[in-house]
Amino acid sequence: MQPQATMHDKPQSVIETGTRKKHIPLPTNYRKARKYVQMAVEERRNIDSLLEQDRHFRTGRTIVGRVLCNLPKIDAIYSQLDLATKEPGLTPWVARVLISELLYGSGRLVSNAPAVECIRKYEEQLRTLHAAVEQTSVECTGTKGVSFTIPRFVRINTNLLSIPDAKSILAQENWTLVEEKFDDYRAFLARVKALSQSEYIEDFHFPEMLVFPNGAKQFWGRARHLRDQFILQNKVRVSAVTYLLRPRKKSVVLDMCAAPGLKTTHLATLMKNKGRIYAVERNSDRYATLTQMVSSYGVIKTIHGDCLTVTDADVPGVEYILVDPSCSGSGMHQRLYEKEQQDEQRLHKLAGLQYKILSHAMNEFRNARRIVYSTCSISTTENEEVVHGVLRHNGHFRLLDARQELGKEWLNVGSPDFVGIGERCLYARTDDDLTIGMFVAVFERCPEGVLNEVYLAHEKQKQSYERLALMRCKQPVLDVINDEDWRPEAPFAGKRKVATMEQPTHDQVTEESAGKKLKSKHTDEQVEEKLAGKKSKKGGKTKLPE
């Protein structure tokens, strides 16, 4: 007779009630985090507004943000442990959320649900892999040299808080300011990499931008009481773009693709909340996010519509325009780690849209004096090629040197393949600048009577083509090169093409000679008749020789 099983012999995740087994569900926080993380990654949706609206998921932003920030490392650990094979019944996205909480969150898992118990079995192996991943960059995804220690950038809202007051608040929160000043950008970046978990430093380029270590994202996820005074944003995604636009107080600004509104609100801060900013957004959901973000700024007026249909009459007096259109996002952190084949057809469609928006900005608004074009892409198709295209067809705007406009050292510029363009544009590279990948170009309206050099070169080339086409219309088809005809003044600068001529046959030559003789005979007879007529008019008779 076998011993009777007791409750302690059962798995902790299953309790037997009579003849029925009670299943312990996964906690709501883990379940909802799985939903939002999967939505953000697979559907590439903006989940910020959804998290704000979900009142029953108060810790949602912290848990979801923790997973997304550490996702490359979590994916590497998940793959090396081969959980998909060992635990086929475990949902991959649930596993990622639980691994994140165990290794990057509180360090422990709550509940005895089956999925939680499954992850607990591998806790020792997970911590071993975690230690190995933290020491080296992940190469399993094909991206080499990209470090995971990307810092956290936080901007002080100077409309509400001065920089000294902001530092005082951070000191009360036990943060230590690194007061060292740097003249060299590389030395600054080296110090950023060495920040301890309790230190922060002022940014090298922008005074109200503060740089925190990567682990600070957990603090800022919980610090809801500081959300108005401190704004979490990427350095180059917002600050570099708005500083390069450089609008004056009381000026009129147009943000053509404004949602979610971080750049728009920063522009309002730079303008001291004086003047007018028109913020345009086409997508309904993103427009709702935009209106919520800018609601406290009286200087900002939102427009729900397509920026390509906005006219000068709709936004009178616009002087400064920000063009940050939809792009492939190839510079975003997550894309840097993904093995994603480049879709050339999609890139060209995006580049076509970007060209249309930028051209519309240059031609529709007659008072526009400065335009900044930016993308979070590292593809030349969406960047240098678009810039070259608009300059070639719009001579009244010229490209400025963005590094000179920034006024401080910057490491990366555009491709040398685009002479006169690449060296004037800025790139942010994750490996160097510890930010997302980014591209920025600055345009300025040319003085009256001046055209940009790209446009002039294009027009000169067009005229040469037109002259060549005209020459070909007037002359026979040119398809033979005469090696003996070397004429410096010839249009082909040397060996000139001459027309192909058919050699006449012997019969053709004979017929032509006979025709000429007959024509000559008729001509002699006509001459004699004319001479006879002239003499008869004089009344005299002239005897013609026999």
Is 324 annotated in some ligand binding site?
yes
CA distance 196 to 211: 12
- From CA 78, how far away is CA 99, in angstroms rounded? 8
Whether residue 281 is annotated as binding a ligand: the answer is yes
Taking 3-state DSSP, the helix, strand and coil percentages for the chain, each rounded to the nearest 5, stand at: 45, 15, 40
Residue 321: the pLDDT is 98
SS3 call for 148: coil
Provide the pLDDT for residue 481. Answer: 43
Superfamily designation of domain 152-231: Sun protein; domain 3 (3.30.70.1170)
Give the CA distances from residue 525 to residues 292, 452, 514, 531, in Å, rounded to whole numbers and listed in that order. Answer: 104, 71, 17, 10
Phi, psi of 82 (to 5 degrees): 60, 45
pLDDT tens across 133-159, in order?
877 543 433 444 444 468 999 999 998
Average pLDDT of span 327-354: 77
* Residue 12, Ramachandran bin (φ over 0: left; ψ between -120 and 50: alpha; else beta): alpha
Which residue did the predictor score with more confidence, 8 or 312?
Answer: 312
The answer as to CATH 3.40.50.150 being correct for domain 238-455 is yes
Of 294, 335, 285, nearest in space to 47 by CA: 285
pLDDT digits (tens, 9 = 90+) for 25-58: 888 888 888 988 888 888 777 676 677 777 777 6
| CA–CA distances in Å: residue 487 to residues 357, 478, 494, 495, 496 | 48, 16, 6, 7, 7
Q: Catalytic: which of 118, 257, 327, 376?
A: 376
Chain centre to alpha carbon of residue 154:
22
Tokens of 153: 């950038």
Among residues 355, 440, 442, 452, the alpha carbon closest in space to that of 397 is found at 452
User: For the range 414-423, what are the long-range contacts, defined as Cβ-Cβ under 8 Å and sequence gap of 24 or more?
Assistant: 414/380, 414/383, 414/384, 414/439, 415/380, 415/384, 417/380, 417/384, 418/380, 418/384, 418/385, 418/387, 418/388, 420/453, 420/454, 421/384, 421/387, 421/388, 421/391, 421/454, 422/384
For β-strands 320-323 and 276-281, DSSP reports them as unpaired
From the CB of residue 319, how many other CB atoms can be counted at a distance below 10 Å? 17
Per-residue pLDDT, averaged over 457-472, amounts to 79
In this structure, what token pair is assigned to residue 217? 């994202």
Q: Where are the domains of the chain?
A: 28-137, 152-231, 238-455
Rounded CA gap, 413 and 423, in Å?
A: 6
pLDDT in tens, 356-365: 999 999 999 9
Note if 425 is an active site residue. no
Mind listing the pLDDT tens digit for each residue in 497-534? 444 445 555 555 455 555 555 555 555 555 456 555 55
Contact 390, 362 (CB under 8 A): yes
CA–CA separation, 546 vs 530, rounded Å?
17
Per the CB < 8 A criterion, the answer to whether 299 and 274 are in contact is yes
Residues 191/202, Cβ–Cβ less than 8 Å: no
Is the previous residue joined to 25 through a cis bond, with omega within 30 degrees of 0? no
185-227: per-residue pLDDT in tens?
999 999 999 998 889 999 999 989 999 998 887 788 778 789 8
Q: Are 118 and 97 in contact (CB under 8 A)?
A: no
Residue 75 assigned ligand-binding role: no
More confident residue, 429 or 16: 429
CA distances from 292 to 52, 217, 287, 297, 464 (A): 11, 23, 9, 10, 55
Helices (H), 250-371: 262-270, 284-293, 333-337, 344-364
Give the three-class secondary structure for 227.
Answer: coil
Q: What percent of the chain has pLDDT over 70?
A: 77
Measured in degrees and rounded to the nearest 5, phi and psi for residue 448 equal -60, 130
DSSP for 90-127 reads S-HHHHHHHHHHHHHSSSS--S--HHHHHHHHTHHHHH
Crossing angle for the helix pair 71-81 and 60-69, nearest 10 degrees?
A: 70
- Token pair listed for 67: 């997973």
Contact 426, 413 (CB under 8 A): yes
Look at residue 138 in the predicted model and tell me its pLDDT. 39
Give the helix/strand (H/E) hosting 524.
helix 506-537
**What per-residue confidence (pLDDT) applies to 479?**
47
- Give the pLDDT confidence score for residue 333 in this predicted structure: 58
Mean pLDDT for all residues in the chain: 81
